[in-house]
């Protein structure tokens, strides 16, 4: 009996990559759950919260702060590791690029295209990771860190305020107001007054 008749190329790729990542993922989740302080478990039990609700509402949200970054990094590694399935002659990105440059002999440009695709995919996953981490940081931080879009908007508003002389809008935090006026009111050394 032929192995390909039982498990196809796609099934073999999913099975191989899935089994490879399963042990890492299990250890990441286990470590995240064990990383939650034992006092949290005891406090929930003292309040009479059922065990399943303790896990879902108290332990897992706290564990997610440590699980999410490591898991997303593993997923990014898995995306990069999918290039290994070319051994199965399965048409993933690296295999497809290899087939195309084998026909037209434009190796470097096609490898650059593949690199750009991997960069786009990993960048999208990293942006998603940032917002997931920010979401699960709500319970640990009093104020959430600003998003890159918020930082850009505040910097532009502070710059416009500096150039035009208008006061900063109330939506800009005070820290950005002091950065935009960094030189005003500070002692600056000039070459003539030694």
Domain range annotation of the chain: 8-148
pLDDT at 52: 92
H, E, C per residue of the chain: CCHHHHCCHHHHHHHHHHHHHHHHHHHHHHHHHHCCCHHHHHHHHHCCCCHHHHHHHHHHHHHHHHHHHHHHHHHHHHHHHHHHHHHHCCCCHHHHHHHHHHHHCCHHHHHHHHHHHHHHHHHHHHHHHHHHHHHHCCCCCCCCCCCHHHHHHHHHHHHHHHHHCCCCCCCCCHHHHHHHCCCCCCCCCCCCCC
**pLDDT band, very low/low/confident/very high, at 188 (cuts 50, 70, 90):** very low
pTM (2 d.p.): 0.64
Average pLDDT of span 10-27: 85
pLDDT at 186: 46
Q: What is the CATH number of domain 8-148?
A: 1.10.3720.10
pLDDT of 1 > 70? The answer is no
């Amino acid at each position: 009996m032929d192995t390909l008749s039982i498990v196809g190329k796609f099934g073999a790729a999913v099975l191989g990559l899935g089994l490879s990542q399963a042990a890492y993922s299990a250890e990441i989740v286990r470590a995240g759950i064990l990383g939650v302080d034992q006092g949290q478990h005891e406090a929930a039990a003292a309040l009479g919260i059922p065990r399943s609700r303790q896990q879902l509402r108290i332990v897992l949200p706290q564990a997610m702060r440590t699980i999410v970054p490591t898991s997303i990094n593993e997923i990014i590694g898995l995306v990069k590791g999918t290039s290994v399935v070319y051994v199965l002659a399965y048409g993933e990105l690296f295999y497809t690029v290899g087939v195309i440059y084998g026909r037209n002999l434009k190796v470097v440009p096609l490898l650059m295209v593949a690199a750009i695709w991997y960069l786009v995919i990993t960048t999208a996953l990293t942006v998603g990771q940032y917002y997931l981490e920010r979401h699960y940081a709500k319970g640990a931080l009093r104020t959430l860190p600003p998003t890159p879009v918020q930082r850009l908007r505040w910097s532009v508003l502070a710059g416009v305020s500096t150039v035009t002389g208008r006061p900063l809008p109330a939506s800009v935090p005070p820290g950005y107001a002091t950065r935009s006026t960094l030189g005003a009111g500070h002692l600056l050394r000039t070459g003539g007054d030694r």
